[in-house]
Amino acid sequence: MSRERDPLGLSHHWHVDLRIVAELPEDNVVGKRFLTNVVFSAVTVGVMLFTGWIGYQNWTLRHLIADWEKRMADNRPEVADIKHMQQEYAVESAKIDQAYALVKPQLFVSGFVIDLGRTRPEQMVIDTIDWTEAGIMVRGNVRENSQRAATLLGAYTKQLVQDKKIGPLFREIALTSLDRGAGSGDLLNFELTFRLKAPKP
Amino acid sequence: MNPLLAQFIALIRRYPYCAACTVVTLLLGGIAWFLIGQNEDLEAVRMDRAKEGEAMLTLLVGGSTQRQELAAAREAARRIEDNLVIETNLAENAFYFYKFEEQTKARLPELHPLTSPASDTSVLYRRVPYTLRISGTYEQVWSFLYAIETGPRLANITAFGFSRRDPDGAGITLDLSLELLGKK
């Protein structure tokens, strides 16, 4: 049997494989070392950017604080002046408040008298206006028959309650008396009572 | 040498670039951690300064208004002080009412000073009460009343009584109780 035909025979180029595989350079298209370096570089760059951003924020905050402090320092004399002015204002207004607390008018009497004259019906005559603890009593007479006098005074009372100047001053405006008195004929005496609102504290 | 340390040094020698990156990352991470802590403190300081600054700006904006208000308050307080009644100065106090009598042509037949109430707690002022009787025409009496209410001395009317002197005449009598603001 010839040597060439022997299937188990060694080829002419046969030799012992002496390579140390662990020490051979990589022959991959993208090396493991390259990939490792890329990952480490990416992480490092990311941390650099993050630290830079935090550093920028730190700088901005310091700048803003310095800016506010400068503005406050620049305006300090004016602020001190205004605060001094406020103290002075408190003292002056306390004086006014004390005066007002002592002589605060409950009613502007001359205005009230004028308003009564303005709203008074022609048939009505006012004889007295008295201010006592019970309220303001307006007494007078109406030269009308009793029915028309009652209607007139009822309407006048309503008019006073609804009047924009008189109404808000009083908690009650009422016709408290209507009589013929000692006289005769078409003369009826009346009494209107105005009760002031409680003074505000 | 510790085998673990030797292994670690070998690893560094094998991957020097990665080792350098790790060192830089750790260093930057430490700086970032420190800065984050500092930024929290700085943010709190900034908010405080901003609040103080905004309050200051508001104060400055209102400065001119406050200046005007102070001037008005000073003027009002000065007018009150200048027109305070001195209880013992009877002649001058009476002259105040008689001056109105002359101006309004009303008649002042009665003028009685009363004793100040002891209940006033104010350290600056006291109330000086008076009772008056005024007579005249409706216009004259009303003018006198208006002059008292709007005059320079602060007055509070505590009671009044208007009455016609005779049913058909134009004469009116006004009985008035009032308090003037006086010096303590």
- Angle (CA) B181 B183 B184, round 5°: 120
Q: Out of A54, A64, A89, whose CB is closest to B36?
A: A54
What backbone phi and psi angles, to 5 degrees, belong to B173? -120, 135
Closest CA to A127 of B72, B183, B169: B169
Q: What pLDDT, on a 0 to 100 scale, did the predictor assign at position A1?
A: 47
For residue A11, CA distances in Å to A4, A14, A77 come to 9, 6, 105
> Encoding tokens for residue A53?
């951003």
Question: B1: distance to nearest CA of chain A, Å?
Answer: 25
Q: What is the pTM of this model?
A: 0.70
Structure confidence by residue, pLDDT tens digits, B105-135:
999 999 999 988 888 778 899 999 999 999 9
Residues A158 and A175: beta-carbon distance below 8 Å? no
Tens place of pLDDT for every residue, chain B, 184 residues? 788 999 999 989 988 999 999 999 999 999 999 999 999 999 999 999 999 999 999 999 988 899 999 999 999 999 999 999 998 899 999 999 999 999 999 999 999 999 888 887 788 999 999 999 999 999 999 999 999 999 999 999 999 999 987 766 779 999 999 999 999 8
Return residues 36-65 of B near A (CB < 8 Å): 36, 38-39, 42-43, 45-46, 49-50, 52-53, 56, 59-60, 62-63
Query: E strands along B21-170, which residues?
Result: 107-113, 125-137, 155-164
Angle between helix B3-14 and helix B16-61 axes, rounded to 10 deg: 80
CA separation for the pair B54, B66 (Å, rounded)? 17
Question: A155: distance to nearest CA of chain B, Å?
Answer: 24
Q: Which one-letter DSSP state was computed for residue A136?
A: E
ipTM of the complex: 0.73
Closest CA to B134 of B166, B93, B97: B97
Q: What pLDDT, on a 0 to 100 scale, did the predictor assign at position A18?
A: 83
Query: E strands along B87-154, which residues?
Result: 107-113, 125-137
Question: A169: distance to nearest CA of chain B, Å?
Answer: 16
User: CB-based contact (8 Å) between B21 and chain A?
Assistant: yes
User: CB-based contact (8 Å) between A40 and chain B?
Assistant: yes
Residue A25 has pLDDT above 90, yes or no: no
Residue A8 has pLDDT above 80, yes or no: no
